[in-house]
Amino acid sequence: MAPFEYRSTLETRYGSATYTFLLDGGGRVTVAALPYAGLPESVWKLTYGNGWEAVRTYFADLGATLPYRVAAVLGSTVVPEAFQGVVGAFRRESGTGAVPDAYVAYWAKHPEYMALFDFDEGARNGVLRRLGQSAVHAKEPELAQFLPPYLHRLLAIESPEATRLIYGVFGALGNGEARDFLLESLESEGRHIYTTAILKNLSGYGDAETLARLAAVYRGGKFGDDDLPAYLHLLAHYRTPELVPHLEEILADHPYEVDGIVHALGSSGQTRAEVAHRIRARFDGEETDYYVLDRLLRAVNGLEVAAQRIDLEAMNRKAARPAFTDVPPVNWPQQLEPGWADLVRTTPADHAVAVLGEYLARPEPRLQRNALLQLKIVLAEHPPADPLPAQTEARLRELVRSRYDKVYVEVLNVLGRRSLPLRDRSAMLAAVLGVSIGSRYRFVVLTALRRIGTTPALRAQARRYLEAEIAAADTPARREQIGGWLPFVEKYLGNIEALRAQLAARGAAPNSSTP
Protein backbone atom coordinates (compact mmCIF):
# COMPACT_ATOMS: atom_id res chain seq x y z
CA MET A 1 0.00 0.00 0.00
CA ALA A 2 1.34 3.40 -0.95
CA PRO A 3 1.43 6.07 1.75
CA PHE A 4 -1.62 8.31 1.72
CA GLU A 5 -2.65 11.58 3.31
CA TYR A 6 -5.66 12.15 5.47
CA ARG A 7 -6.98 15.46 6.77
CA SER A 8 -8.59 15.25 10.20
CA THR A 9 -10.34 18.03 12.11
CA LEU A 10 -10.02 17.61 15.85
CA GLU A 11 -11.70 19.40 18.73
CA THR A 12 -9.04 20.95 20.99
CA ARG A 13 -9.00 23.29 23.98
CA TYR A 14 -8.74 26.16 21.47
CA GLY A 15 -11.50 24.97 19.19
CA SER A 16 -11.40 23.00 15.95
CA ALA A 17 -8.00 22.38 14.35
CA THR A 18 -7.20 20.45 11.16
CA TYR A 19 -4.12 18.21 10.92
CA THR A 20 -2.87 16.36 7.87
CA PHE A 21 -1.59 12.83 8.50
CA LEU A 22 0.60 10.69 6.29
CA LEU A 23 0.08 6.93 6.82
CA ASP A 24 1.89 3.96 5.29
CA GLY A 25 0.83 0.32 5.02
CA GLY A 26 2.41 -0.71 8.33
CA GLY A 27 0.51 1.91 10.23
CA ARG A 28 3.36 4.35 10.72
CA VAL A 29 1.97 7.86 11.01
CA THR A 30 3.52 11.29 10.61
CA VAL A 31 1.95 14.72 10.79
CA ALA A 32 2.36 16.24 7.35
CA ALA A 33 0.82 19.60 8.17
CA LEU A 34 -0.16 21.47 11.33
CA PRO A 35 -3.20 23.75 11.59
CA TYR A 36 -2.74 27.08 9.75
CA ALA A 37 0.59 25.83 8.39
CA GLY A 38 2.36 28.47 6.33
CA LEU A 39 -0.05 31.27 7.22
CA PRO A 40 1.40 34.61 8.36
CA GLU A 41 1.38 35.77 11.97
CA SER A 42 -1.34 38.27 11.18
CA VAL A 43 -3.82 35.45 10.62
CA TRP A 44 -2.91 33.87 13.98
CA LYS A 45 -3.28 37.23 15.72
CA LEU A 46 -6.61 37.92 14.05
CA THR A 47 -7.94 34.49 15.00
CA TYR A 48 -6.58 34.06 18.53
CA GLY A 49 -5.70 37.56 19.74
CA ASN A 50 -2.85 38.28 22.13
CA GLY A 51 -2.46 34.64 23.13
CA TRP A 52 -1.83 33.44 19.59
CA GLU A 53 1.74 32.26 20.29
CA ALA A 54 0.56 29.96 23.09
CA VAL A 55 -2.10 28.55 20.75
CA ARG A 56 0.43 27.90 17.99
CA THR A 57 2.78 26.19 20.47
CA TYR A 58 -0.08 24.07 21.78
CA PHE A 59 -1.08 22.94 18.28
CA ALA A 60 2.53 21.92 17.61
CA ASP A 61 2.82 20.06 20.94
CA LEU A 62 -0.51 18.34 20.36
CA GLY A 63 0.66 17.43 16.88
CA ALA A 64 3.74 15.72 18.37
CA THR A 65 1.43 13.30 20.23
CA LEU A 66 -0.81 12.48 17.27
CA PRO A 67 1.44 9.98 15.43
CA TYR A 68 1.48 7.83 18.58
CA ARG A 69 -2.23 8.25 19.21
CA VAL A 70 -3.37 7.48 15.69
CA ALA A 71 -1.02 4.53 15.20
CA ALA A 72 -2.05 3.01 18.54
CA VAL A 73 -5.73 2.86 17.57
CA LEU A 74 -5.37 1.72 13.93
CA GLY A 75 -5.65 -1.99 14.76
CA SER A 76 -7.81 -1.75 17.86
CA THR A 77 -11.38 -2.89 18.29
CA VAL A 78 -11.90 0.16 20.53
CA VAL A 79 -11.40 3.38 18.60
CA PRO A 80 -11.88 6.81 20.23
CA GLU A 81 -14.44 8.90 18.38
CA ALA A 82 -11.88 11.56 17.41
CA PHE A 83 -9.93 9.03 15.33
CA GLN A 84 -12.67 6.95 13.75
CA GLY A 85 -12.39 8.81 10.45
CA VAL A 86 -8.66 8.27 9.97
CA VAL A 87 -8.89 4.65 11.17
CA GLY A 88 -11.68 3.92 8.67
CA ALA A 89 -9.64 5.48 5.86
CA PHE A 90 -6.56 3.45 6.80
CA ARG A 91 -8.46 0.19 6.84
CA ARG A 92 -9.98 0.91 3.44
CA GLU A 93 -6.63 1.81 1.93
CA SER A 94 -4.65 -1.06 3.45
CA GLY A 95 -7.12 -3.86 2.80
CA THR A 96 -6.66 -7.26 4.40
CA GLY A 97 -3.08 -8.00 3.41
CA ALA A 98 -1.31 -5.24 5.33
CA VAL A 99 1.22 -6.23 7.99
CA PRO A 100 1.10 -3.80 10.93
CA ASP A 101 4.37 -2.75 12.53
CA ALA A 102 5.17 -3.83 16.10
CA TYR A 103 3.76 -0.66 17.68
CA VAL A 104 0.38 -1.01 15.98
CA ALA A 105 0.28 -4.75 16.67
CA TYR A 106 1.00 -4.33 20.39
CA TRP A 107 -1.76 -1.82 21.04
CA ALA A 108 -4.22 -3.86 18.96
CA LYS A 109 -3.90 -6.59 21.62
CA HIS A 110 -4.67 -4.16 24.46
CA PRO A 111 -8.02 -2.44 23.99
CA GLU A 112 -8.03 -1.75 27.76
CA TYR A 113 -5.39 0.92 27.14
CA MET A 114 -7.16 2.80 24.34
CA ALA A 115 -8.37 5.57 26.63
CA LEU A 116 -4.70 6.61 26.90
CA PHE A 117 -4.99 8.01 23.39
CA ASP A 118 -8.40 9.64 23.71
CA PHE A 119 -8.98 13.36 24.28
CA ASP A 120 -11.14 12.58 27.32
CA GLU A 121 -8.77 13.51 30.15
CA GLY A 122 -10.80 11.76 32.83
CA ALA A 123 -10.68 8.43 31.02
CA ARG A 124 -7.01 8.93 30.14
CA ASN A 125 -6.12 9.72 33.74
CA GLY A 126 -7.90 6.59 34.89
CA VAL A 127 -5.60 4.41 32.79
CA LEU A 128 -2.51 6.38 33.84
CA ARG A 129 -3.48 5.95 37.49
CA ARG A 130 -3.88 2.19 37.11
CA LEU A 131 -0.55 1.87 35.32
CA GLY A 132 1.21 3.92 37.99
CA GLN A 133 -0.16 1.69 40.73
CA SER A 134 0.53 -1.63 39.01
CA ALA A 135 4.18 -2.62 38.79
CA VAL A 136 3.35 -5.94 37.10
CA HIS A 137 1.69 -4.38 34.06
CA ALA A 138 4.00 -1.40 33.94
CA LYS A 139 7.05 -3.64 33.71
CA GLU A 140 5.86 -5.57 30.66
CA PRO A 141 8.81 -5.29 28.24
CA GLU A 142 6.71 -4.21 25.25
CA LEU A 143 4.75 -1.66 27.26
CA ALA A 144 8.00 -0.27 28.63
CA GLN A 145 9.19 0.04 25.02
CA PHE A 146 6.12 1.55 23.35
CA LEU A 147 4.56 3.77 26.03
CA PRO A 148 7.36 6.17 27.12
CA PRO A 149 7.87 8.00 23.79
CA TYR A 150 4.18 8.89 23.76
CA LEU A 151 4.20 9.96 27.41
CA HIS A 152 7.25 12.17 26.85
CA ARG A 153 5.33 14.16 24.28
CA LEU A 154 2.08 14.12 26.23
CA LEU A 155 3.76 15.94 29.14
CA ALA A 156 3.94 19.15 27.11
CA ILE A 157 0.15 19.55 26.95
CA GLU A 158 -1.22 17.81 30.04
CA SER A 159 -2.87 19.25 33.13
CA PRO A 160 -1.02 19.21 36.48
CA GLU A 161 -2.98 16.16 37.65
CA ALA A 162 -2.24 14.20 34.50
CA THR A 163 1.40 15.26 34.59
CA ARG A 164 1.82 13.82 38.09
CA LEU A 165 0.16 10.61 36.94
CA ILE A 166 2.57 10.35 34.01
CA TYR A 167 5.53 10.65 36.35
CA GLY A 168 3.89 7.90 38.39
CA VAL A 169 3.92 5.63 35.36
CA PHE A 170 7.61 6.29 34.81
CA GLY A 171 8.22 5.38 38.43
CA ALA A 172 6.27 2.14 38.00
CA LEU A 173 8.18 1.16 34.86
CA GLY A 174 11.19 0.51 37.05
CA ASN A 175 13.81 0.37 34.30
CA GLY A 176 16.97 2.32 33.61
CA GLU A 177 15.44 4.39 30.84
CA ALA A 178 12.57 5.52 33.05
CA ARG A 179 14.98 6.33 35.87
CA ASP A 180 17.18 8.38 33.53
CA PHE A 181 14.20 10.32 32.28
CA LEU A 182 13.12 11.21 35.82
CA LEU A 183 16.64 12.18 36.86
CA GLU A 184 17.22 14.19 33.69
CA SER A 185 14.03 16.11 34.43
CA LEU A 186 15.48 17.08 37.81
CA GLU A 187 18.87 17.86 36.29
CA SER A 188 17.40 20.24 33.72
CA GLU A 189 18.07 23.95 34.08
CA GLY A 190 16.43 25.63 37.03
CA ARG A 191 14.03 24.05 39.49
CA HIS A 192 11.53 21.68 37.95
CA ILE A 193 7.95 22.63 38.68
CA TYR A 194 7.10 18.98 39.41
CA THR A 195 10.14 18.17 41.52
CA THR A 196 8.15 16.66 44.38
CA ALA A 197 6.14 14.42 42.05
CA ILE A 198 9.31 13.23 40.35
CA LEU A 199 11.03 12.49 43.67
CA LYS A 200 8.07 10.44 44.84
CA ASN A 201 8.44 8.22 41.79
CA LEU A 202 12.15 7.52 42.15
CA SER A 203 11.68 5.27 45.19
CA GLY A 204 12.23 2.12 43.13
CA TYR A 205 15.83 3.05 42.39
CA GLY A 206 18.15 2.61 45.36
CA ASP A 207 21.56 2.29 43.72
CA ALA A 208 24.66 4.38 44.40
CA GLU A 209 24.64 6.01 40.95
CA THR A 210 21.10 7.30 41.41
CA LEU A 211 22.00 8.65 44.85
CA ALA A 212 25.06 10.41 43.44
CA ARG A 213 22.98 12.10 40.76
CA LEU A 214 20.32 13.11 43.28
CA ALA A 215 22.98 14.54 45.59
CA ALA A 216 24.38 16.57 42.69
CA VAL A 217 20.89 17.96 42.00
CA TYR A 218 20.58 18.86 45.69
CA ARG A 219 23.95 20.62 45.73
CA GLY A 220 22.96 22.51 42.61
CA GLY A 221 20.19 24.21 44.60
CA LYS A 222 17.44 22.61 42.53
CA PHE A 223 15.36 21.46 45.50
CA GLY A 224 13.19 24.07 47.18
CA ASP A 225 12.24 23.87 50.84
CA ASP A 226 8.88 22.37 49.88
CA ASP A 227 10.66 19.53 48.06
CA LEU A 228 12.86 18.46 50.95
CA PRO A 229 10.30 16.27 52.79
CA ALA A 230 9.77 14.24 49.61
CA TYR A 231 13.53 14.08 49.04
CA LEU A 232 14.21 12.79 52.54
CA HIS A 233 11.38 10.27 52.24
CA LEU A 234 13.06 9.04 49.06
CA LEU A 235 16.48 8.83 50.71
CA ALA A 236 15.00 6.54 53.37
CA HIS A 237 14.92 3.84 50.67
CA TYR A 238 18.71 3.88 50.26
CA ARG A 239 21.23 1.63 51.99
CA THR A 240 24.44 2.74 50.29
CA PRO A 241 27.52 3.87 52.29
CA GLU A 242 27.30 7.34 50.76
CA LEU A 243 23.89 8.01 52.28
CA VAL A 244 24.88 8.96 55.84
CA PRO A 245 27.38 11.67 54.81
CA HIS A 246 24.75 13.11 52.47
CA LEU A 247 22.16 13.17 55.26
CA GLU A 248 24.66 14.95 57.50
CA GLU A 249 25.12 17.47 54.71
CA ILE A 250 21.36 18.07 54.59
CA LEU A 251 21.22 18.30 58.39
CA ALA A 252 23.89 21.01 58.29
CA ASP A 253 22.00 22.94 55.61
CA HIS A 254 18.40 22.34 56.66
CA PRO A 255 18.09 21.44 60.35
CA TYR A 256 14.36 22.26 60.18
CA GLU A 257 13.98 18.96 58.31
CA VAL A 258 15.40 17.01 61.25
CA ASP A 259 12.39 14.67 61.52
CA GLY A 260 12.84 13.42 57.96
CA ILE A 261 16.58 13.17 58.49
CA VAL A 262 16.11 11.09 61.65
CA HIS A 263 13.80 8.74 59.75
CA ALA A 264 16.23 8.37 56.86
CA LEU A 265 19.20 7.79 59.19
CA GLY A 266 17.26 5.13 61.04
CA SER A 267 16.20 3.45 57.81
CA SER A 268 19.84 3.39 56.67
CA GLY A 269 20.77 1.07 59.53
CA GLN A 270 22.07 3.64 62.01
CA THR A 271 21.29 2.80 65.63
CA ARG A 272 19.18 5.13 67.75
CA ALA A 273 22.31 6.01 69.72
CA GLU A 274 24.19 6.92 66.53
CA VAL A 275 21.31 9.00 65.23
CA ALA A 276 20.87 10.78 68.56
CA HIS A 277 24.60 11.54 68.69
CA ARG A 278 24.48 13.20 65.25
CA ILE A 279 21.41 15.29 66.04
CA ARG A 280 22.77 16.30 69.45
CA ALA A 281 25.98 17.44 67.77
CA ARG A 282 23.90 19.58 65.40
CA PHE A 283 22.04 21.07 68.38
CA ASP A 284 25.30 21.84 70.17
CA GLY A 285 26.70 23.47 67.05
CA GLU A 286 23.71 25.71 66.25
CA GLU A 287 24.67 29.36 66.76
CA THR A 288 22.36 31.41 64.58
CA ASP A 289 18.78 30.11 64.38
CA TYR A 290 16.92 30.18 67.69
CA TYR A 291 13.77 28.60 66.31
CA VAL A 292 15.50 25.46 65.04
CA LEU A 293 16.72 24.62 68.54
CA ASP A 294 13.31 23.36 69.56
CA ARG A 295 13.03 21.02 66.58
CA LEU A 296 16.43 19.57 67.33
CA LEU A 297 15.52 19.27 71.02
CA ARG A 298 12.37 17.30 70.20
CA ALA A 299 14.23 15.05 67.77
CA VAL A 300 17.03 14.21 70.22
CA ASN A 301 14.83 13.59 73.21
CA GLY A 302 12.31 11.69 71.10
CA LEU A 303 15.02 9.08 70.40
CA GLU A 304 15.19 8.36 74.15
CA VAL A 305 18.94 7.89 74.34
CA ALA A 306 19.93 8.86 77.87
CA ALA A 307 23.52 9.78 77.03
CA GLN A 308 22.39 12.34 74.44
CA ARG A 309 19.28 13.69 76.16
CA ILE A 310 18.99 17.47 76.28
CA ASP A 311 17.91 18.46 79.79
CA LEU A 312 16.52 21.76 81.06
CA GLU A 313 19.95 23.08 82.00
CA ALA A 314 21.35 22.33 78.54
CA MET A 315 18.41 23.98 76.78
CA ASN A 316 18.63 27.15 78.88
CA ARG A 317 22.40 27.23 78.51
CA LYS A 318 22.06 26.99 74.74
CA ALA A 319 19.38 29.69 74.58
CA ALA A 320 21.69 31.96 76.60
CA ARG A 321 24.19 32.22 73.75
CA PRO A 322 24.69 35.88 72.72
CA ALA A 323 23.34 35.24 69.23
CA PHE A 324 19.99 34.33 70.76
CA THR A 325 19.82 37.07 73.38
CA ASP A 326 20.91 40.07 71.30
CA VAL A 327 17.47 40.36 69.71
CA PRO A 328 15.01 43.26 70.08
CA PRO A 329 11.92 42.49 72.19
CA VAL A 330 9.64 42.83 69.19
CA ASN A 331 11.21 39.64 67.82
CA TRP A 332 10.89 37.60 71.00
CA PRO A 333 8.48 34.66 70.65
CA GLN A 334 5.11 35.05 72.33
CA GLN A 335 5.24 31.66 74.03
CA LEU A 336 7.70 28.92 74.83
CA GLU A 337 8.25 26.52 71.93
CA PRO A 338 6.42 23.17 72.26
CA GLY A 339 9.46 20.94 72.78
CA TRP A 340 10.90 23.26 75.37
CA ALA A 341 7.55 23.46 77.14
CA ASP A 342 7.34 19.66 77.27
CA LEU A 343 10.85 19.54 78.67
CA VAL A 344 9.80 21.87 81.49
CA ARG A 345 6.74 19.72 82.23
CA THR A 346 8.79 16.54 82.51
CA THR A 347 11.49 18.06 84.73
CA PRO A 348 11.00 17.61 88.50
CA ALA A 349 9.60 20.84 89.88
CA ASP A 350 12.29 21.46 92.52
CA HIS A 351 15.05 20.99 89.98
CA ALA A 352 13.29 23.19 87.42
CA VAL A 353 12.84 26.01 89.94
CA ALA A 354 16.54 25.82 90.84
CA VAL A 355 17.59 26.05 87.18
CA LEU A 356 15.18 28.87 86.45
CA GLY A 357 16.29 30.85 89.49
CA GLU A 358 19.74 31.07 87.90
CA TYR A 359 18.33 32.56 84.71
CA LEU A 360 15.96 34.93 86.49
CA ALA A 361 19.08 36.39 88.10
CA ARG A 362 20.76 36.99 84.74
CA PRO A 363 20.89 40.59 83.47
CA GLU A 364 19.69 39.79 79.93
CA PRO A 365 15.95 40.56 79.64
CA ARG A 366 15.46 37.83 77.02
CA LEU A 367 16.74 35.22 79.48
CA GLN A 368 14.59 36.66 82.26
CA ARG A 369 11.53 36.27 80.09
CA ASN A 370 12.51 32.73 79.04
CA ALA A 371 12.77 31.81 82.71
CA LEU A 372 9.42 33.40 83.52
CA LEU A 373 7.67 31.53 80.71
CA GLN A 374 9.12 28.29 82.04
CA LEU A 375 8.21 29.16 85.62
CA LYS A 376 4.58 29.64 84.57
CA ILE A 377 4.56 26.08 83.21
CA VAL A 378 6.15 24.66 86.36
CA LEU A 379 3.56 26.35 88.57
CA ALA A 380 0.72 25.17 86.31
CA GLU A 381 1.92 21.56 86.24
CA HIS A 382 2.99 21.39 89.89
CA PRO A 383 0.95 23.80 92.04
CA PRO A 384 3.38 24.56 94.89
CA ALA A 385 2.58 23.89 98.52
CA ASP A 386 5.55 25.94 99.67
CA PRO A 387 6.80 29.37 98.60
CA LEU A 388 9.45 29.76 95.96
CA PRO A 389 13.05 30.14 97.20
CA ALA A 390 13.62 33.47 98.95
CA GLN A 391 16.08 34.70 96.33
CA THR A 392 13.62 33.83 93.53
CA GLU A 393 10.78 35.69 95.24
CA ALA A 394 13.05 38.69 95.79
CA ARG A 395 14.04 38.62 92.14
CA LEU A 396 10.39 38.65 91.08
CA ARG A 397 9.89 41.81 93.14
CA GLU A 398 12.77 43.39 91.25
CA LEU A 399 11.65 42.24 87.80
CA VAL A 400 8.16 43.59 88.25
CA ARG A 401 9.83 46.98 87.76
CA SER A 402 11.57 45.93 84.54
CA ARG A 403 11.47 48.50 81.76
CA TYR A 404 10.63 45.68 79.35
CA ASP A 405 6.89 45.07 79.07
CA LYS A 406 7.47 41.48 78.02
CA VAL A 407 9.33 40.84 81.26
CA TYR A 408 7.23 42.57 83.88
CA VAL A 409 3.92 41.38 82.38
CA GLU A 410 5.13 37.79 82.70
CA VAL A 411 6.05 38.48 86.34
CA LEU A 412 2.50 39.72 86.89
CA ASN A 413 1.17 36.59 85.17
CA VAL A 414 3.18 34.44 87.57
CA LEU A 415 1.94 36.42 90.57
CA GLY A 416 -1.62 36.32 89.27
CA ARG A 417 -1.79 32.52 89.54
CA ARG A 418 -4.21 31.07 92.09
CA SER A 419 -2.77 29.86 95.38
CA LEU A 420 0.82 30.97 94.83
CA PRO A 421 2.46 30.81 98.27
CA LEU A 422 4.62 33.84 99.07
CA ARG A 423 7.15 34.43 101.83
CA ASP A 424 6.46 38.15 102.09
CA ARG A 425 3.10 39.15 100.67
CA SER A 426 3.40 42.70 101.91
CA ALA A 427 6.67 43.29 100.07
CA MET A 428 5.29 41.72 96.90
CA LEU A 429 2.11 43.78 97.13
CA ALA A 430 4.22 46.92 97.46
CA ALA A 431 6.21 45.95 94.36
CA VAL A 432 3.07 45.47 92.26
CA LEU A 433 1.44 48.65 93.60
CA GLY A 434 4.57 50.48 92.52
CA VAL A 435 3.84 49.75 88.85
CA SER A 436 0.05 49.86 89.00
CA ILE A 437 -0.61 53.55 88.32
CA GLY A 438 -0.14 54.37 84.65
CA SER A 439 0.27 50.77 83.56
CA ARG A 440 -1.08 49.78 80.15
CA TYR A 441 -1.83 46.31 81.54
CA ARG A 442 -4.44 47.23 84.13
CA PHE A 443 -6.33 43.94 84.12
CA VAL A 444 -3.11 41.96 84.60
CA VAL A 445 -2.08 44.23 87.47
CA LEU A 446 -5.56 43.96 89.02
CA THR A 447 -5.43 40.15 88.90
CA ALA A 448 -2.02 40.13 90.59
CA LEU A 449 -3.25 42.49 93.34
CA ARG A 450 -6.27 40.28 94.00
CA ARG A 451 -4.09 37.15 94.29
CA ILE A 452 -1.44 38.76 96.51
CA GLY A 453 -3.39 41.11 98.75
CA THR A 454 -5.95 38.66 100.05
CA THR A 455 -6.29 39.90 103.68
CA PRO A 456 -7.87 43.04 105.14
CA ALA A 457 -4.43 44.17 106.31
CA LEU A 458 -3.01 43.93 102.81
CA ARG A 459 -5.97 45.75 101.30
CA ALA A 460 -5.47 48.46 103.88
CA GLN A 461 -1.84 48.65 102.79
CA ALA A 462 -2.98 49.16 99.21
CA ARG A 463 -5.42 51.88 100.27
CA ARG A 464 -2.67 53.71 102.21
CA TYR A 465 -0.42 53.51 99.12
CA LEU A 466 -3.07 55.16 96.97
CA GLU A 467 -3.74 57.84 99.58
CA ALA A 468 -0.03 58.68 99.64
CA GLU A 469 0.17 58.75 95.82
CA ILE A 470 -2.80 61.09 95.58
CA ALA A 471 -1.29 63.37 98.21
CA ALA A 472 1.99 63.48 96.30
CA ALA A 473 0.41 63.91 92.84
CA ASP A 474 1.54 67.41 91.99
CA THR A 475 0.93 67.38 88.24
CA PRO A 476 -2.29 67.08 86.22
CA ALA A 477 -0.80 64.16 84.27
CA ARG A 478 -0.13 62.14 87.42
CA ARG A 479 -3.58 62.90 88.82
CA GLU A 480 -5.11 61.80 85.50
CA GLN A 481 -3.22 58.49 85.72
CA ILE A 482 -4.55 57.89 89.21
CA GLY A 483 -8.07 58.77 88.09
CA GLY A 484 -7.83 56.26 85.27
CA TRP A 485 -6.72 53.53 87.68
CA LEU A 486 -9.40 54.04 90.33
CA PRO A 487 -12.25 52.22 88.50
CA PHE A 488 -10.03 49.16 88.27
CA VAL A 489 -8.71 49.23 91.82
CA GLU A 490 -12.30 49.58 93.03
CA LYS A 491 -12.82 45.96 92.03
CA TYR A 492 -10.07 45.02 94.48
CA LEU A 493 -10.62 47.44 97.37
CA GLY A 494 -14.38 47.85 97.22
CA ASN A 495 -15.68 51.25 98.26
CA ILE A 496 -13.20 53.97 97.23
CA GLU A 497 -15.34 57.07 97.56
CA ALA A 498 -12.85 58.52 100.04
CA LEU A 499 -10.07 58.12 97.48
CA ARG A 500 -12.21 59.79 94.81
CA ALA A 501 -12.96 62.68 97.14
CA GLN A 502 -9.29 63.07 98.00
CA LEU A 503 -8.35 63.12 94.31
CA ALA A 504 -11.10 65.65 93.55
CA ALA A 505 -9.82 67.85 96.33
CA ARG A 506 -6.41 67.77 94.67
CA GLY A 507 -7.96 69.41 91.62
CA ALA A 508 -8.77 66.39 89.39
CA ALA A 509 -12.13 65.03 88.32
CA PRO A 510 -11.77 61.32 89.19
CA ASN A 511 -12.77 58.87 86.50
CA SER A 512 -16.06 57.40 87.61
CA SER A 513 -16.48 54.94 84.73
CA THR A 514 -16.05 51.23 85.27
CA PRO A 515 -13.73 49.04 83.19
Average pLDDT value for residue range 18-43: 93
pLDDT of residue 95: 74
Q: Is the dihedral of CA 9, 11, 14, 15 positive or negative?
A: positive
pLDDT (tens digit per residue) in 144-170 = 899 999 999 999 999 999 999 999 999
Segment among 28-32, 171-175, 275-279 with least mean pLDDT: 171-175
Please, are residues 255 and 295 in contact by the beta-carbon 8 Å criterion?
yes
pLDDT of residue 136: 54
Mean pLDDT of the chain: 93
pLDDT of residue 246: 97
Grade residue 509 by pLDDT with cuts at 50, 70 and 90: low
Asked if the model's pLDDT at residue 25 lies above 90, the reply is no
pLDDT of residue 508: 61
DSSP letter, residue 26 = T
List phi, psi (to 5°) of 399: -70, -20
Return d(Cα 508, Cα 33) in angstroms, integer: 94
pLDDT of residue 515: 54
Grade residue 72 by pLDDT with cuts at 50, 70 and 90: very high
Asked if the model's pLDDT at residue 434 lies above 80, the reply is yes
pLDDT of residue 137: 56
pLDDT of residue 229: 97
Please, are residues 55 and 14 in contact by the beta-carbon 8 Å criterion?
yes
Residue 460: CA count within 13 A, CB half-sphere: 3
Average pLDDT value for residue range 276-303: 96
Average pLDDT value for residue range 274-294: 96
Average pLDDT value for residue range 355-375: 96
Total residue count of the chain as it appears in this document: 515
Please, are residues 252 and 282 in contact by the beta-carbon 8 Å criterion?
yes
Asked if the model's pLDDT at residue 351 lies above 80, the reply is yes
136, exposed or middle or buried, with CB in 10 Å at 0-12, 13-18, 19+? exposed
Return d(Cα 390, Cα 388) in angstroms, integer: 6
Question: Side by side, which strands form the sheet with 4-12?
Answer: 4-12, 15-23, 29-33
pLDDT (tens digit per residue) in 62-71 = 999 999 999 9
